[in-house]
């Protein structure tokens, strides 16, 4: 049965047509902007039957070509897995039959499926002689409720550093937004955390464990925040707060270096995701850094997001004019769509509708995608647009 028969079109036909055309072009010749196209398709597929069907066809073709390393494949596999179209079973089975099992993106996608026909081929992955593939296959089986085995903990010490990093970014980051895993994953994640030196990746592994019912990471982070090396106590205190999901944030003033350490991305990227986590909880410590980012004419995506949080979470209306100016400016096309989405999330629905309408014809994929999401949110009259997954996929071109 086609997804078209199950899912209504909630985005403008111009956006769906443009995305499908871009997808067909990308399958003929790989474009320079593939990562952003993949992110846009990933974000909008749940709102469009035509986009979802086009992604399914692209997924089947890329499996046939064994194009598993492409960002477009990762986005298509995960979107198709989440949408649960039964027509994808054959393509997933073919991917799992290859020596590399369709890469981690395939196994990540299978964490979101419940198709019983994929249970047997996935069990073969879990029995691989290569520890990283067997581990990923067993994690997918735990996510699907097909395994509660402790074998995954025996595989964890055998995983090389490069594979551990890939597992964290490609398998466990998406699982922080999905349904919790079963408790069998706890001991295995403890092993991986013990070998992890990057604090942001440690936090990802800890979050998945805590959501699965393991409180050990929270106790460890709290202990390090209280009695660890002085230079790292503030960072560990913030980690403990994030894992606890309760109570006020610790009195630690965030800096660019500190929030970069707490991101799962490489520290050199200066990713500010953790700052916006603090802002969502209205932590007063985050406000000075937000005000610094949102000063002036909002020159980048971080500044736009900072302006949104100041308006919505701290009741500061001063950045509203600057946000409106960015959303209205054709010269700021790279962040114009994000600004319109921020206006919607700030409660300025009429303004977001007015400034988002021209984005539906934008030549810039990022603006087009944000315009489509704003339109979908306006039709539904609910929902947040600038969620963390949407920002990562559309604005940054990350395929998780």
The pLDDT score that the predictor gives to residue 150 is 85
* Most distant CA pair in the chain, distance: 59
Q: What is the mean pLDDT of residues 308-319?
A: 97
* Mean pLDDT computed over every residue of the chain: 94
What SS3 state is found at 369? helix
Cα-flanking dihedrals φ and ψ of residue 191, to 5°? -65, -45
Range of the domain at 363: 294-400
Which residues, including other chains, have CB under 8 Å from residue 291's CB and lie 6 or more apart?
306, 310, 316
User: Ramachandran region of residue 208, left (φ > 0), alpha (ψ -120 to 50) or beta?
Assistant: alpha
Does residue 325 belong to any structural domain of this protein?
A: yes
The pLDDT score that the predictor gives to residue 382 is 67
What SS3 state is found at 76? helix
pLDDT over 60 (residue 366): yes
Element (H, E) at 68: none
In whole angstroms, give the CA distance from residue 50 to residue 38.
15
The pLDDT score that the predictor gives to residue 4 is 42
Does residue 273 belong to any structural domain of this protein?
A: no
Burial level of 385, CB count in 10 A (0-12/13-18/19+)?
buried
Does residue 164 belong to any structural domain of this protein?
A: no
In whole angstroms, give the CA distance from residue 373 to residue 385.
7
Does residue 388 belong to any structural domain of this protein?
A: yes
Does residue 1 belong to any structural domain of this protein?
A: no
- Are 58 and 76 in contact by the 8 Å Cβ rule? The answer is yes
Does residue 182 belong to any structural domain of this protein?
A: no
Exposure string of 222-245, with b = 16+ CB inside 10 Å and e = fewer, is bebbeeeeeeebbbbbbbbbbbee
Angstrom CA distances, 346 to 188, 314, 325, stand at 41, 11, 15
Is residue 186 very low, low, confident or very high in pLDDT (cuts 50, 70, 90)? Answer: very high
Does residue 385 belong to any structural domain of this protein?
A: yes
How many domains in the chain? 1
The pLDDT score that the predictor gives to residue 210 is 98
Q: What is the mean pLDDT of residues 34-45?
A: 96
In whole angstroms, give the CA distance from residue 88 to residue 73.
13
DSSP secondary structure string for all residues of 205-232:
HHHHHHHTT--HHHHHHHHHHHHS-GGG
Cα-flanking dihedrals φ and ψ of residue 266, to 5°? -55, 140
Say what the pTM is.
0.94
Is residue 9 very low, low, confident or very high in pLDDT (cuts 50, 70, 90)? Answer: confident
Does residue 358 belong to any structural domain of this protein?
A: yes
DSSP secondary structure string for all residues of 131-160:
HHHHHHHHHHHHHTTS---THHHHHGGG--
pLDDT over 60 (residue 63): yes
Cα-flanking dihedrals φ and ψ of residue 317, to 5°? -85, 0
């Amino acid at each position: 049965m086609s997804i078209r028969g199950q899912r209504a079109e909630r985005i403008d036909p111009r956006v769906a047509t443009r995305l499908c055309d871009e997808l067909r072009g990308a399958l003929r010749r790989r474009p320079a902007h593939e990562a952003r196209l993949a992110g846009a398709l990933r974000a909008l597929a749940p709102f469009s039957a035509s986009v979802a069907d086009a992604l399914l066809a692209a997924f089947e073709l890329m499996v046939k070509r064994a194009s598993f390393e492409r960002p477009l494949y990762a986005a298509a596999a995960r979107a198709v897995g989440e949408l649960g179209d039964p027509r994808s079973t054959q393509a997933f089975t073919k991917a799992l039959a290859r020596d590399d099992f369709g890469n981690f993106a395939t196994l990540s996608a299978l964490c979101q499926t419940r198709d019983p026909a994929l249970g047997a081929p996935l069990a073969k992955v879990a029995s691989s002689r290569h520890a990283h593939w067997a581990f990923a296959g067993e994690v997918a089986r735990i996510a699907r409720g097909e395994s509660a085995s402790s074998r995954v903990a025996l595989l964890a010490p055998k995983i090389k550093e490069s594979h551990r990093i890939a597992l964290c970014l490609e398998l466990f980051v998406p699982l922080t937004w999905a349904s919790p895993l079963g408790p069998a994953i706890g001991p295995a994640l403890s092993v991986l955390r013990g070998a992890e030196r990057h604090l942001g990746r440690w936090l990802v592994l800890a979050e998945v464990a805590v959501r699965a019912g393991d409180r050990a990471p929270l106790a460890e982070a709290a202990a390090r925040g209280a009695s660890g090396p002085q230079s790292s106590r503030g960072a560990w205190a913030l980690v403990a707060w994030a894992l606890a999901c309760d109570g006020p944030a610790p009195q630690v003033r965030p800096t660019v270096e500190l929030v970069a350490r707490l991101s799962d991305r490489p520290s050199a990227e200066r990713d500010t995701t953790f700052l916006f986590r603090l802002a969502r909880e209205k932590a007063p410590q985050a406000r000075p850094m937000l005000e610094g980012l949102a000063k002036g004419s909002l020159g980048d995506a971080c500044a736009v997001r900072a302006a949104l949080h100041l308006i919505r979470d701290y009741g500061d209306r001063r950045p509203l004019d600057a946000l409106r100016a960015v959303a209205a400016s054709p010269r700021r096309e790279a962040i114009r769509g994000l600004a319109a989405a921020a206006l919607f999330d700030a409660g300025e629905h009429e303004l977001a509708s007015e400034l988002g309408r021209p984005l539906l014809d934008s030549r810039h994929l990022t603006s087009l995608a944000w315009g489509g999401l704003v339109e979908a949110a306006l039709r539904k009259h609910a929902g947040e647009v600038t969620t963390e997954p949407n920002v990562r996929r559309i604005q940054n071109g990350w395929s998780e």
